[in-house]
Structure 1
Amino acid sequence: MNTLNDISLVARAAECGDRTAFNELVVRYQSPIRRFFLNQTAGDVPLSDDLAQDTFIKAYLHLSHFRGASAFSTWLYRIAYNVFYDHIRRHQPTEDLSASSIPQRKAETSDEGLSLDLYAALNLLTPHERTCITLQLIEGQSIDRIAQITGMVQGTVKSHLFRGKEKMATYLKQNGYDRKR
């Protein structure tokens, strides 16, 4: 995405009240933000859509707080991250599940089966591990950007990535996905 174009759109939306400019930002970032939430919620489409909508509402209401110290997308992901953790705090106690506590099942051959297994593997992770994995492997964010988005230090991000990848690999291997094919 063009950072200067994003800043121009933010300026038009914040200073001039140009809703069309903000709409362009929504159109540009709605798919990545919805995908982020879809992975955080293990495929819960209605919840993902609600969280994405909350993210864009908060972004619109606080647009004047965007200072341009980071990319607009980083700022927006930070809002999405906070929206997700606010949701967790309000609705769900979280536990760190081990791979042995999740029922095992045979891998399905269809793409749908793989998606279900990936969501199940993501559910094994702590919320911080899932966020780091989603941002790096699915959204393509660098460790530095993940640290900016989450407010974690880079070493902590790396630890969450390492542990999350290990848990997911163990689960997927136990369910018939092996690299030796």
Structure 2
Amino acid sequence: MVGSDGTGSELTQETFSKAWFSLQQLRSPVAFKSWLYRIATHLAYDYQKHHRHMATVAFDRCSDDYAAMQVEGPEGRYENAELLREALALVPHKYRICLILYCVEGCSPLEIAEQLNIKESCVSKYVSRGRKALLEIYIQLQARGRRNDV
């Protein structure tokens, strides 16, 4: 959700810290998983809200002599992964969270609906729209990258 493994790790640590210190407020142990996801989601939303103005630029887009620094290797795979991360960061928030929970975390639509306090029927719409947006953004970024390479 935040587009960075380092930031994601920090927010994960903060999630567990908040959960630990708020554990006495948990009313039902059965709801622990959704309670924990809710804490993590709120922290991610707060992070995105406060850091929206900060844009990151990949090194290869700002270096003048990047072509001279390239060596043979699996960089194509890493470029695609970076491009996918960048595209996912541009997917609208409400679609992105559902997409991540469904495709990456493997949560069911019912679990996602409970964790995010939305209707279960909205989850499938958000996942579908998220996939479509991700594909469109990925294709645009890929086309823009090819134009920059030429």
1:163 is aligned, of 129, 132, 144, to 129
Quick one: distance in 2 between partners of 1:111 and 1:65? 45
CA offset digits 1:86-107 (Å, max 9, x no partner): 22233326xxxxxxxxxxxxxx
CA RMSD of aligned residues (A): 2.2
Task: Give the C-alpha shift of residue 60 in structure 1.
Answer: 0.3
- Runs of at least 4 residues off by over 4 Å: none
Q: Which residue matches 2:103?
A: 137
Quick one: distance in 2 between partners of 1:109 and 1:87? 30
The structure, 1 or 2, with the larger RCO (C-alpha pairs under 8 Å, 6+ apart) is 2
Task: Give the C-alpha shift of residue 46 in structure 1.
Answer: 2.7
User: What SS class does the counterpart of residue 110 from structure 1 fall into?
Assistant: helix
User: What SS class does the counterpart of residue 111 from structure 1 fall into?
Assistant: helix
CA offset digits 1:102-154 (Å, max 9, x no partner): xxxxxx97321221121122122111111111100001001111111111111
List gaps (5 residues or longer) in structure 1.
1-39, 94-107, 177-181
Q: How many residues align?
A: 121
1:125 is aligned, of 91, 109, 123, to 91
2:48 is aligned, of 85, 88, 112, to 88
Q: Which residue matches 1:57?
A: 17
Quick one: distance in 2 between partners of 1:62 and 1:131? 24
Task: Give the C-alpha shift of residue 54 in structure 1.
Answer: 1.3
Q: Which residue matches 1:151?
A: 117
Identity within the alignment, %: 27
Quick one: distance in 2 between partners of 1:142 and 1:59? 23
Quick one: distance in 2 between partners of 1:124 and 1:164? 10
Quick one: distance in 2 between partners of 1:109 and 1:153? 41
Matched, 1:77 2:37: yes
Q: Which residue matches 2:69?
A: none
Quick one: distance in 1 between partners of 2:117 and 2:135? 26
8 Å CA contact 2:2, 2:48 repeated in 1:
no
List gaps (5 residues or longer) in structure 2.
54-73, 144-150
Q: Which residue matches 2:6?
A: 46
8 Å CA contact 2:11, 2:44 repeated in 1:
yes
Instruction: Give 2:137's aligned amino acid.
Output: Y
Quick one: distance in 2 between partners of 1:117 and 1:87? 21
